[in-house]
Structure 1
Amino acid sequence: MPARSRPARARPVVPGPSGRPVNIGIKLATTYLLNRFGFRPLLIVSTAGLGVAVATVALRTKLAHPSGRT
C-alpha cells in the first residue's frame, strides 16, 4: 500500500507594520477603491501606470547602457 502524501500547508499570514495581516489591509484598500471608482476605471488607471513604469525602466536601462550591452 503506497504511503499517503500530506496535503500542502497554507503559508502563515505575515502581520504588517500595524500588526494586522497584510492581506486584510490590501482587501480593505481594494474594496474601497472598487466601490468608489468601479472596476473599469481602476483597470484603465492600473494599466496606464504599468505602462509608465515599464517605459521608465526601459528608458533608464537605455540611458545607463547606451551601447545596448549590459
Structure 2
Amino acid sequence: MSDVLSRICADKREQIAKDKQALSLADLEQRLDQISPPRGFYQALQKARADNRYGLICEIKMASPSKADPG
C-alpha cells in the first residue's frame, strides 16, 4: 500500500477510535429509531434499467488520494 493510502487508513482508524469513545453503542442504537429508512437505491437502479434508462452510482474526484500531488 502506498504511503498516502497508509496514512489515510491510519487517520481513519484514529477517527473511528475517537468516535467510539464519544458515542456509546447503546446511544448509537437508540439513534437508529430516529433516522429515516433507506431510500431503496437498489430498487431505483432496477427501475431505471427496466425503463431503459441509465442507473448510476458514481463519485467524481478532482484527484485520487493515492496519487502524488501534481501541484
**Range of TM-score over shorter length:** 0.3 to 0.5
The structure with more helix, counted as a fraction of residues: 1
TM-score under structure 2 length normalisation: 0.41
TM-score under structure 1 length normalisation: 0.42
Say which one has the larger Rg: 1
Which protein, 1 or 2, shows the higher relative CO under an 8 Å CA cutoff with sep ≥ 6? 2
